[in-house]
């Protein structure tokens, strides 16, 4: 079952690239490359679960066969398609919810062989899930799954109702609020205007690094032709995805297009950012090396010496990259009004996250610098504390 959840989560992550093409044509070759990369990661994670003994041989073979089947289906060429800003809502709902519907069905039935049943069986399973939720209304995760399941079936009114129940019980869950906003937008004609955008902004207040909320916020701004704001939201996603990945290239293409439509010239801005970069190095203390894995995320950030706790710039790497040299500048800002150059003195930190979340969690490993100038060089950080 653990392997199944890993596969579902990776499929959702792979779908992210398809959500972020506002009006430009998507490349079929790029999609194939992304699919291959995602499925390769799935197989690697599944193999790790098998070696760790957390998945049975039967579930391992079943999950592997399912991944291989999807490779055969998805890797052959795709026709190019053009996605309008208005149409992204439908893609967003489907891409995020489809793999998670399978999880909802699995949870409802408790049988891995029922992951891909006929449509009428799926509807029946979702109804049984709804009945379970009426019997145990305090199950937040169950309401989330029900909301995603209804979304896949196109029953957006019921999806909104399920998410509303979850949000009542978990009002500080940023991902839940982003999913809620997505479903609400679909229920009102694929429009993020009004209440959906309020939910998105609330999600970003709770977690400024939530990828889906940032994607939706950019989409909402793009739809009302506020291209500068759209670019700003999408640009904040770049430090949160692996550099030089397909996700990063897709997001950057959207940023460039939005900036072009807003009349901004990106190149001079990039040069200015590079000229005022804050540079240094990060290493992991040997005493904590056993507490980190090579694939754990490393967030390198700068925040104001005195002021809002939100990072002014963020760079994402992995433990395997340590020790490393870093450079932070205004292009890595988490909010348009909070840029590295706006604060003369900053504290630079590096944090290892086992969960991969940009939001600090107990148990994360961290190191901080003393206050330095916002364009300092030679800043040295040792990750030597446990949060």
**Mind listing the pLDDT tens digit for each residue in 294-311?**
989 899 999 998 877 778
Q: C-alpha angle with apex 209: 206 to 210, nearest 5 degrees?
A: 75
Average pLDDT, the chain: 75
Assigned domain for 271 exists? no
Domain assignment of residue 262, yes or no:
yes
Residues 77 and 182 in one domain: yes
Q: What is the mean pLDDT of residues 208-231?
A: 89
Q: Give kind and range of the element (H or E) at residue 221.
A: helix 211-223
Phi-psi label, residue 369: left if phi above 0, alpha if psi -120 to 50, beta otherwise: beta
What's the whole-number mean pLDDT along residues 236-264?
85
Average pLDDT over residues 94-108: 44
The token pair that represents 48 in the structure block:
């790790």
Residues 359, 373: Cα–Cα separation, whole Å: 25
Q: In 3-state terms, what secondary structure has residue 192? A: coil
Q: What is the pLDDT of residues 1-43, one digit of tens each?
A: 333 333 344 344 444 443 444 434 333 433 444 444 455 556 6
* Block residue for tokens 């292009």: 331
CA nearest 257: which of 18, 17, 16, 24?
A: 24
What is residue 25's predicted lDDT score, i.e. its pLDDT? Answer: 37
Domain-embedded: residue 123: yes
Give the mean pLDDT of 49-53.
65
**pLDDT over 60 (residue 129):** yes
Is the pLDDT at 153 greater than 80? The verdict is yes
Q: How would you class 340 by CB atoms within 10 Å of its CB: exposed for 0-12, middle for 13-18, buried for 19 or more?
A: buried
In 22-173, which residue ranges form alpha helices assigned H by DSSP? 28-52, 57-74, 88-109, 119-135, 140-152, 156-169
How many domains, in total, are found in the chain? 2
Domain presence at residue 109: yes
The pair of three-digit structure tokens given for residue 151, joined into one six-digit string: 């979304």
What is the domain-level CATH number for residue 185? 1.25.40.10
Confidence check: pLDDT of 201 > 60: yes
If asked whether residues 257 and 336 sit together in one domain, one would say no
199/280 same-domain check: no
Q: Is residue 253 part of a domain?
A: yes
Q: How far apart are CA 187 and CA 312, in angstroms?
A: 36
Among residues 266, 301, 321, the one where a domain terminates is 266
Give the C-alpha separation, 13 to 307, whole Å: 33
What confidence tier does 238 reach under pLDDT thresholds 50, 70, 90? confident
> Does residue 154 sit within a domain?
yes
Whether the CA torsion 227, 224, 152, 79 is positive or negative: it is: negative
Mean pLDDT of 326-352: 84
Same domain for 282 and 259: no
Same domain, residue pair 301 and 222: no
pLDDT of residue 232: 87
Q: What percent of the chain has pLDDT over 70?
A: 65
Could you tell me the CATH number of the domain that includes residue 311? 2.60.40.1120
**DSSP notation for 301-353:** EEEESSS-SS-SEEEEEEGGG-SEEEEE-GGG-SBTTB-GGG-SEEEEEEEEE
- pLDDT, residue 122, reads 73
The residue among 234, 266, 298 that closes a domain is 266
Residues 281 and 251 reside in one and the same domain:
no
Domain that holds residue 194: 2-266
pTM of the model: 0.51
Establish whether the linkage from the previous residue to 323 is cis, with ω within 30° of 0: yes
Does 216 share its domain with 313?
Answer: no
How far lies 163's CA from each of 172, 253, 275, in Å? 13, 32, 46
Confidence of residue 337 (pLDDT cuts 50, 70, 90): low
pLDDT for residue 104 is more than 90: no
Whether 253 and 288 share a structural domain: no
Nearest to 207 by CA among 296, 331, 309, 348: 309
Q: What is the pLDDT of residues 159-180, one digit of tens each?
A: 999 999 999 999 989 999 999 9
Last residue of a domain, one of 266, 286, 314: 266
Tokens describing residue 92 = 């967003």
CA distances, 136 to each of 92, 160, 162, 255 (Å): 29, 18, 13, 44
Domain membership of residue 216 (yes or no) is: yes
What's the whole-number mean pLDDT along residues 94-123? 50
Half-sphere exposure (Cβ direction) of 195: Cα atoms closer than 13 Å: 11
Note whether 76 and 113 are same-domain residues.
Answer: yes
231 in a structural domain: yes
**Tokens linked to 279:** 């540079």
CB-based contact 46:7 (threshold 8 Å): yes
Region 200-216: mean pLDDT is 88
Which CB contacts under 8 angstroms, 24+ apart, belong to 63-66? 63/3, 63/4, 63/7, 66/7, 66/115, 66/116
Same domain, 318 and 230: no
- More confident call, 119 vs 73: 119
Predicted pLDDT of residue 200: 93
Q: Domain check: are 253 and 333 in the same one?
A: no
Please check whether residues 212 and 346 belong to one and the same domain.
no
């Amino acid at each position: 079952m653990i392997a199944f959840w890993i596969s579902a989560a990776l499929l959702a992550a792979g779908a992210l690239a398809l959500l972020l093409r506002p009006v430009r044509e998507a490349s079929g070759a790029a999609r194939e490359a992304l699919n291959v990369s995602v499925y390769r990661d799935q197989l690697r994670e599944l193999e790790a679960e098998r070696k760790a003994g957390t998945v049975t041989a039967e579930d391992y073979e079943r999950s592997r066969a399912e991944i291989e089947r999807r490779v055969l289906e998805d890797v052959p060429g795709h026709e190019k398609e053009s996605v309008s800003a208005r149409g992204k809502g439908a893609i967003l709902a489907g891409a995020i919810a489809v793999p998670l519907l399978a999880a909802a069905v699995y949870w409802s039935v408790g049988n891995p062989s029922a992951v891909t049943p006929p449509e009428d069986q799926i509807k029946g399973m979702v109804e049984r899930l709804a009945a379970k939720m009426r019997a145990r209304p305090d199950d937040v995760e169950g309401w989330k799954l029900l909301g995603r399941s209804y979304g896949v079936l196109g029953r957006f009114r019921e999806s909104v109702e399920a998410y509303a129940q979850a949000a009542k019980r978990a009002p500080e869950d940023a991902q839940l609020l982003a999913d809620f906003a997505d479903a609400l937008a679909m229920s009102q004609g694929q429009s993020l205007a009004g209440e959906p955008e309020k939910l998105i902004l609330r999600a970003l207040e709770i977690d400024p690094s939530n990828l889906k909320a940032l994607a939706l916020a950019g989409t909402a701004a793009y739809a009302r032709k506020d291209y500068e704001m759209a670019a700003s939201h999408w640009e904040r996603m770049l430090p949160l995805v692996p550099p030089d990945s397909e996700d990063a290239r897709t997001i950057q293409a959207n940023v460039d297009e939005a900036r072009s439509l807003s009349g901004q010239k990106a190149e001079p801005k990039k040069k200015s950012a590079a000229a005022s970069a804050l540079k240094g190095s990060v290493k992991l203390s040997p005493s904590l090396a056993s507490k980190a894995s090579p694939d754990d995320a490393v967030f390198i950030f700068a925040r104001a010496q005195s002021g809002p706790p939100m990072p002014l710039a963020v760079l994402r790497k992995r433990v395997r990259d340590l020790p490393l040299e870093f450079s932070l500048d205004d292009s890595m800002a988490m909010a348009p009004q909070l840029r590295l150059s706006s604060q003369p003195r900053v504290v630079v930190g590096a944090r290892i996250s086992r969960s991969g979340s940009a939001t600090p969690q107990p148990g994360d490993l961290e190191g901080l610098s003393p206050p330095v100038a916002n364009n300092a060089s030679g800043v040295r950080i040792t990750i030597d504390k446990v949060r």
